[in-house]
Amino acid sequence: MKILAFESTCDETAVAVVEDGRKILTDQIFSQADLHAVYGGVVPEIASRCHVESISLLAQRAIEAAGIGKDEIDAVAVSYAPGLIGAVLVGVNFAKAVSLALNVPLIPVHHIRGHIAANYLAYPELEPPFLCLAISGGNTLLVDVKDYTEMEILGQTRDDAAGECFDKTARVLGLPYPGGKPIDDLSKGGDDSKYVFPIGHVADHPYDMSFSGLKTAVINLVHNAEQKGEELDRASLAASFTKAVSDSLVPRTIAAAREKGRDKLVVAGGVAANSRIRADFKAAAEENGLTLFVPPLRLCGDNGAMIGAQGYYEFLAGTRAQSDLNAFATMDLDASYGE
């Protein structure tokens, strides 16, 4: 079954064709990051307008690159939540029009379920159940994935997402947006014990996380140093900051996997590209006898293929949207469409 999949929840316009949830026939991505970099973050209206400009061309290119005719498309999948509402609306409306024109089913896909499904594309042997940490620019969630479409949220951030924390730390250090990769690069060779940063805990909710205290600690450190005219060791600051994020994520994820009795651990989302976090997960998984799955770098960030992968399993589970499908800025990952 071939699914034409659309992703437009933030600053990537992406269109893919995926076969049977596991095989990428094409994965076209247009990143707007350069457009937003001058503002230090995503400007929602610019993102929406840019999606409008690029989505038709990208869809045409995807069909050509997949080497298929329009009549070979069996269904259309679209990321309908969560995200920047104006941006999501562009993808949803375009996908509705395509599904109507081709007279094929329309499958709504939760964006974070898509990030999780990126791992199905990279690892043919991976099947639920497993424990998943989804870490992206807008979301940080610990999820028990019981089945392809049945999930339970065990914990989540109470404030900033992990990726947001990377981006804000990068900003205060004068690094470009998006800041995750520049911080990753800067941290290499730094001493991760030089600066001690707080790790957030939420009373009585061991799997919930908090990153705003860490963000404030970095901002205060940088501003204090500026006021006193002191030079900071930037590489060590980036390394110490990344260690604090990793220490906040890895032990919690391992504890959740043990509590749920899962032997497979999946990491998903843009922040899963971080080299320190990947290394810490690898070591922790080995130590605890867990099999670790982390997407290759090209599938960590937003892409259309992950929506096509999850779309396939949503289709098998009977999930269908009608012509009144709407876009949502927020949406629980564990809610089925229409609930």
Q: How far is the CB of 289 from ligand KG4 (least distance, A)?
A: 27
Measured from the CB atom, the residue of 94 and 166 that comes closer to ligand KG4 is 166
Measured from the CB atom, the residue of 75 and 306 that comes closer to ligand KG4 is 306
Measured from the CB atom, the residue of 25 and 134 that comes closer to ligand KG4 is 134
Q: How far is the CB of 239 from ligand KG4 (least distance, A)?
A: 12
Measured from the CB atom, the residue of 128 and 301 that comes closer to ligand KG4 is 301
Find the helix or strand (DSSP H, E) in which 9 lies: none
Measured from the CB atom, the residue of 144 and 184 that comes closer to ligand KG4 is 184
**Residue 82: is the preceding peptide bond cis (ω within 30°)?**
yes
Residues 175-206: b if buried by 16+ CB within 10 A, e if exposed: bebbbbbbbbebbeebebeebebebbeeeeeb
Measured from the CB atom, the residue of 63 and 277 that comes closer to ligand KG4 is 277
Taking the C-alpha atoms of residue 257 and residue 237, their distance in angstroms, rounded to an integer, is 30
Q: How far is the CB of 323 from ligand KG4 (least distance, A)?
A: 27
Q: Which residues contact 5 (CB under 8 A, 6 or more apart)?
A: 15, 16, 17, 18, 76, 77, 78, 109, 304, 305, 307, 308, 311
Nearest alpha-carbon partner for 6 in 104, 148, 106: 106
Q: How far is the CB of 177 from ligand KG4 (least distance, A)?
A: 8
Measured from the CB atom, the residue of 13 and 136 that comes closer to ligand KG4 is 136
Q: Following CA atoms 47, 162, 243, 284 in sequence, which dihedral angle do they give, to the nearest 10 degrees?
A: -120
Where do contacts with ligand KG4 occur on this chain (CB under 6 A)?
10, 136-138, 163, 166-167, 178-181, 184, 269-271, 273-274, 301-302
Q: How far is the CB of 274 from ligand KG4 (least distance, A)?
A: 3
Measured from the CB atom, the residue of 34 and 64 that comes closer to ligand KG4 is 34
Tell which phi-psi region holds residue 319, choosing left (phi > 0), alpha (psi between -120 and 50) or beta. Answer: beta
Taking the C-alpha atoms of residue 128 and residue 131, their distance in angstroms, rounded to an integer, is 9
Tokens of 332: 């629980």
Q: How far is the CB of 67 from ligand KG4 (least distance, A)?
A: 27
Nearest alpha-carbon partner for 304 in 73, 2, 12, 66: 12
Q: Is the dihedral of CA 271, 124, 309, 8 positive or negative?
A: positive
Q: How far is the CB of 269 from ligand KG4 (least distance, A)?
A: 4
Q: How far is the CB of 137 from ligand KG4 (least distance, A)?
A: 3
What backbone torsions phi and psi does residue 84 show, to the nearest 5 degrees? -70, 120
